[in-house]
Amino acid sequence: MPELPEVEVVRRGLEQFVVGRRIETVEVLHPRAVRRHEGGPDDFAARLTGRTVDGARRRGKYLWLPVGDDALLAHLGMSGQLLIVPRDLPLSPHVRIRFAFADGGADLRFTDQRTFGHLLVAADGAELPPVMAHIAADPLEDAFDLALLTKRMRTRKTGIKRALLDQSLVSGIGNIYADEALWRAKLHWARATDRLRSGQVAGLMAAVVDVFTEALKDGGTSFDSLYVNVNGESGYFDRSLNVYGRAGEPCRRCGALIRRDPFMNRSSYSCPVCQPRPRTGRW
Ligand SMILES: [Zn+2]
């Protein structure tokens, strides 16, 4: 799945190239791409044709374009991409939806090789699409409330990494960034949230913001002028990872060998010295 910095890159691209433009035609080339849109492909197209894109917004890994009171909501899945391409460029075989604009400029094309992603129009979703009401603010949003998160973490009996991945507490943090932030904050992933001091939660969230900000610096600010895309496997931020995927390699802070533990059908990477195991953790 794409992570928050990659989705933010797409949001910035859409803001630059799509916002303020009027949609002239919408062609749904594969019905699976709108399978979650209640009215089906024709209704999807009808609700967007002639509308102007008012903005490009994001919460966590979710992206939406306000159009009037409604929103065009994008779930990119594993392989979905939103591309800004010249209007006369032939359609590639994986284009699922094509948006052409009244100004005659570049198209917006949703391509998805594996069709796991999808788009839908959320009625009255311009401010916040209703399906996202249960998703908490992410640490880069103005709406993010550290005091509230601290309070909720400390009343919950769970491990700190599970809490970081829980979208009802804080959104936008995936497995990779959770491990990277925990390493920076020198906290083991199984630390019990109800035993954390508020300064530790603040330090951890500052580490999350640092990791996101650095990833955006690496890959997030430059894209060529007519080609914007997101791809969960692009990995432009791989170079700057300190623990994730580095099992058996030396910690960049202390030299101890990074260890890998199984965690929720995935893995957790940590430094045994910088991030000692808690005696009473929550695994
Ligand atoms: Zn270390």
| 0.85 surpassed by pTM | no
Cα(156) to centroid of ligand 1, in Å? 28
Cα(137) to centroid of ligand 1, in Å? 31
Among 170, 54, 73, 69, which residue's Cα sits nearest to residue 126?
69
Amino acid 148: pLDDT: 95
Cα(14) to centroid of ligand 1, in Å? 39
Amino acid 233: pLDDT: 39
Q: Which residues are catalytic?
A: 2-3, 61, 266
Amino acid identity, position 16: Q
Amino acid 180: pLDDT: 95
Cα(219) to centroid of ligand 1, in Å? 26
**Tens of pLDDT along 98-125?**
999 999 999 999 998 887 889 999 999 9
Amino acid 223: pLDDT: 44
Cα(180) to centroid of ligand 1, in Å? 12
Per-residue pLDDT band for 226 (boundaries 50, 70, 90) equals: very low
Q: Inform me whether the pLDDT recorded for 19 exceeds 70.
A: yes
The dihedral through the CA atoms of 72, 19, 127, 80 has a sign that is positive
What mean pLDDT comes out for the span 210-228?
A: 63
Per-residue pLDDT band for 21 (boundaries 50, 70, 90) equals: very high
What mean pLDDT comes out for the span 146-155?
A: 95
Cα(252) to centroid of ligand 1, in Å? 7
